[in-house]
Chain A
Amino acid sequence: MTLQLSALQASLQGAPVLHAVDLDVKPGQVLALLGRNGAGKTTTLRTIMGLTQQTGGHVRLDGRDLGGAPTWQRARIGIYFVPEDGGVFQELSVLENLRLAGRGQPEQVLGAFPELKALWHRRAALLSGGERKILALARAALSGSRWLLIDEPSLGLAPAVLRRLGQAIAALRAEAGVLLVEQNLRFAQSVADDYVLMQRGSTVDQGPIEALRESPFFAQAMSFGSGEGDSA
Chain B
Amino acid sequence: MIANVVLAGISLAAFYFVLSAGLSLVFGIMGVLNFASAGYFLVGLYAAWYMLGHGSGFLVAALAAGLISGVTALIVEFVMLRPLYRNPGGQLLTTLGVMLILTEAVNWVFGPQIQQEPMQGLLASTLPVGGLPFPVYRLLLIASGLVIYLLLVALLRGTSLGLKVRAGVESQTLAELSGIRVLPLRSLVYALGGILAGFAGALYGPFGGVYPGAGTDTLLLTFIVVVIGGLGSVGGTLVASLIIGLAEALVGFYAPNLALTVNVLAMIIVLILRPQGLLGRAPGRRDTHAA
Measuring CB to CB, which residues of chain A are less than 8 angstroms from any residue of chain B?
A: 46, 49, 51-53, 70-72, 75-76, 80-81, 83, 85, 87-92, 96, 99-101, 139, 143
Provide the bound-state CA to CA distance between A114 and B182, in Å.
32
**Contacting pair A51 B281 (CB below 8 A):** no
**Contacting pair B167 A71 (CB below 8 A):** no
Measuring CB to CB, which residues of chain B are less than 8 angstroms from any residue of chain A?
A: 160, 163-164, 166-167, 169-171, 173-182, 281, 285, 288-289, 291
Q: A49-B177, A52-B291, A72-B182 are in contact. Are A90 and B160 (CB under 8 A)?
A: no
A100 in complex: contacting residue of B169, B180, B281, B285, CB < 8 Å: B180
Which residues of B have CB within 8 Å of A51? 173, 177, 289, 291
Q: A72-B181, A99-B163, A100-B167 are in contact. Are A89 and B174 (CB under 8 A)?
A: yes
Distance between A74 CB and nearest chain B CB, rounded to angstroms: 9
Distance between B150 CB and nearest chain A CB, rounded to angstroms: 20
Closest partner residue, chain B, to A83 (CB atom): B289
Provide the bound-state CA to CA distance between A52 and B177, in Å.
13
A85 in complex: contacting residue of B164, B176, B288, CB < 8 Å: B288
Distance between B134 CB and nearest chain A CB, rounded to angstroms: 39
Which residues of A have CB within 8 Å of B180? 72, 100
**Contacting pair B170 A90 (CB below 8 A):** yes
Closest partner residue, chain B, to A52 (CB atom): B291
**Contacting pair B176 A96 (CB below 8 A):** no
**Contacting pair B289 A100 (CB below 8 A):** no
Provide the bound-state CA to CA distance between A186 and B169, in Å.
39
16 chain-A/chain-B pairs, Cβ below 8 angstroms: A70-B176, A72-B177, A72-B180, A75-B177, A81-B177, A87-B289, A89-B170, A90-B285, A91-B166, A92-B163, A100-B167, A100-B178, A100-B180, A101-B178, A139-B178, A143-B178
B170 in complex: contacting residue of A46, A52, A70, A91, CB < 8 Å: A91
Provide the bound-state CA to CA distance between A46 and B289, in Å.
10
Distance between B145 CB and nearest chain A CB, rounded to angstroms: 24
Q: A51-B291, A83-B289 are in contact. Are A89 and B167 (CB under 8 A)?
A: yes
**Contacting pair A92 B167 (CB below 8 A):** yes
Closest partner residue, chain A, to B164 (CB atom): A100
Q: Could you tell me the dominant secondary structure of chain B's interface residues?
A: helix
Distance between A15 CB and nearest chain B CB, rounded to angstroms: 14
Closest partner residue, chain B, to A139 (CB atom): B178
Which residues of B have CB within 8 Å of A52? 291
Provide the bound-state CA to CA distance between A71 and B169, in Å.
17
**Contacting pair A72 B170 (CB below 8 A):** no
Provide the bound-state CA to CA distance between A80 and B181, in Å.
15
Closest partner residue, chain A, to B285 (CB atom): A90
Most chain-A Cβ atoms within 10 A of its Cβ — which of B178, B180, B281? B178
Which residues of B have CB within 8 Å of A101? 178
Which residues of A have CB within 8 Å of B289? 51, 83, 87
Provide the bound-state CA to CA distance between A85 and B167, in Å.
17
Provide the bound-state CA to CA distance between A121 and B181, in Å.
25
Closest partner residue, chain B, to A85 (CB atom): B288
**Contacting pair A72 B176 (CB below 8 A):** yes
Which residues of B have CB within 8 Å of A80? 177
**Contacting pair B179 A72 (CB below 8 A):** yes
Which residues of B have CB within 8 Å of A139? 178
Provide the bound-state CA to CA distance between A198 and B267, in Å.
52
**Contacting pair B173 A76 (CB below 8 A):** no
**Contacting pair A100 B173 (CB below 8 A):** no
B179 in complex: contacting residue of A53, A76, A85, CB < 8 Å: A76
Which residues of A have CB within 8 Å of B182? 72
Starting from the known contacts A51-B177, A75-B177, A85-B288, 6 additional A-B residue pairs (CB-CB under 8 Å) come to A51-B173, A51-B291, A71-B177, A75-B176, A90-B285, A96-B163
Which residues of B have CB within 8 Å of A143? 178-179
Provide the bound-state CA to CA distance between A88 and B181, in Å.
17
Distance between A51 CB and nearest chain B CB, rounded to angstroms: 5
